[in-house]
Structure 1
Amino acid sequence: MVTRTFRNAGLVVALSAATLAGCSSYIKRDEFDSTVADLRATDQKLQSQIDSLSQKHDALVTQLAGRVRVETGAHFATGDASLNEEDKPFLDDFARVIKDNHSDALITIEGFTDPAGSAVANRRLGLQRAQAVRDYLVSSGLGAQQVRAVSYGEDQNRQVRAGAIGDAGRDNRRVSLVVDYAGVAMQNTAPPAG
């Protein structure tokens, strides 16, 4: 019985030592707080830059659960996925802000259509629109791996003007730019002296 007690005590001591040794790999609270503060600063900086773009280009920008959404990335003619010249200056500025300040950012381009046509054709057209904007942003210097395209087609709960087509449905024929992840803040400091 005494041997069993010593054996159990030895097992408890060994498990405690192993547990405490594993704790040494945890991040310290001040390092964690510093990382969180850096991420919040990066998000605030991105939001400020997107707000500036919004004022310059009259775009609607919202922040949803850590994501930044730009609702007016580009608009399209009925049945067309060609990028308009009038949308390119905004997209150029957007690409420049992301490239210069948030090179790790992850962007989702969401494509939409008005409800004219079949749901299948509209889903395909929405993707073509999103890909056109994606390709333009990549040609403007963003990394292909950081910009992805998705389509919502004519999804009713995503229409700006419910059921509107033709001229009235222009706001439905659009792409939205969503910054899913802003990345780590880039430091504008000189390299250390060597």
Structure 2
Amino acid sequence: MHSYQRIAYVSLTALAVALSGCNGYVKKADFDSAIGQIKADQQKQQQEIDGLTQQMQQKFAQYDAKIAEMNGRIRVDTVSHFAFNDSTLRDQDKPLLDDFAKIMSKNYPQAVVTVEGFTDSAGGAGYNMKLGHKRADAVRDYLVSAGMSADQLHTVSYGKASNRQVLKGKTGDDGEPNRRVSLVVDFAGAQSQAAPTQTPAQPDQPAQPAVPNQGSQMPAAPQG
């Protein structure tokens, strides 16, 4: 069952309780109206997700990016990869991020996006959690520079979590698929009907600073 469907059922139950709180019963007309509104909202949300998924699939066909719809959200996986123990965004990954920012800022300005950072399994869990954040921050900052609002973007690190690795236990050259950043569109929002020809600058929404370089505190053991 999709998450938005569960939310709809919970909302419907809460509404029924609210409607019956004062009079001890729910009028059928009010109940039917509530059901109709919830179904309409659910259908609208699914249409927005479907539309965004289609746009991304068409736009990203030239890239090696995996796009999947899941539980009312859209995942764009492996948009960026990183060198061993490094959080520098590679030039070859920037065109896809440019296209993603263009789609979201012009057509889905209300969207909420989570930027997920990952590492391979080398090194300690604490250090890799920080490294995953630095990678996510690097992608977030680039998306802001490409036109997205900083308020739309949230970062999270999964570090070396084994259940999130593409190739479990792989490090070094073989572990590059694990050293990545993925994007998850948690909420698409209504599509803009009349996108402006040019996106105005937004000096009041600067990019959040990335985590300072931890190089001076790097442990002797190699990290992911």
TM norm structure 1:
0.80
User: Residue 132 of structure 1 aligns with which residue?
Assistant: 138
Residue 186 of structure 1: how far off its partner (Å) = 2.2
**Rg larger in 1 or in 2?**
1
Task: Tell me, in whole angstroms, the C-alpha distance in 1 between the residues paired with 2:188 and 2:41.
Answer: 14
Structure-1 residue corresponding to 2:65: 59
Q: 2: distance between equivalents of 1:169 and 1:33?
A: 45
1:91 aligns to 2:101 (yes or no): no
* Alignment map for 1:163-182 (pairs within 5 Å): 163-182=169-188
Q: SS of the counterpart of 2:167?
A: coil
- Matching residue of 1:153: 159
Q: Give 3-state SS (helix, strand or coil) of 1:123's partner.
A: helix
CA–CA distance in 2 between the matches of 1:52 and 1:72?
17
SS of equivalent residue, structure 1 residue 54? helix
Aligned length: 173
Return the letter of the residue paired with 2:59: L
Task: Tell me: CA distance 1:98–1:27, structure 2 relative to 1, closer, same or farther (3 Å).
Answer: farther
Structure 2 CA distance for aligned equivalents of residues 72 and 55 of structure 1 = 14
Following superposition, the deviation at residue 33 of structure 1 comes to 4.2
What is the aligned-residue identity percentage?
Answer: 43
What's the CA shift for 1:98? 0.7
Query: Which of 103, 116, 127 is the aligned partner of 2:109?
Result: 103
Q: State the superposition RMSD in angstroms.
A: 2.4
SS in 2 for 1:162: coil
Relative to structure 1, the CA distance from residue 151 to residue 63 in structure 2 (aligned partners, 3 Å threshold; closer, same or farther) is same
The TM-score normalised by the length of structure 2 is: 0.70
Q: Which runs of 5+ in 2 are unaligned?
A: 1-21, 196-224
Partner of 2:19: none
Counterparts of 1:53 and 1:124, CA distance in 2: 32
1:123 to 126, 129, 139: 129
Q: How many angstroms apart in 1 are the aligned matches of 2:115 and 2:44?
A: 26
Instruction: Give the letter aligned to residue 140 of structure 1.
Output: A
Match of 2:200 in 1: none
d(CA) in 2 for partners of 1:185, 1:35: 14
5+ residue gaps, structure 1: 1-14, 190-194
Tell me the distance in 1 between the aligned counterparts of 2:25 and 2:133.
51
**Kept in 2: contact 1:77–1:170 (CA 8 A):** yes
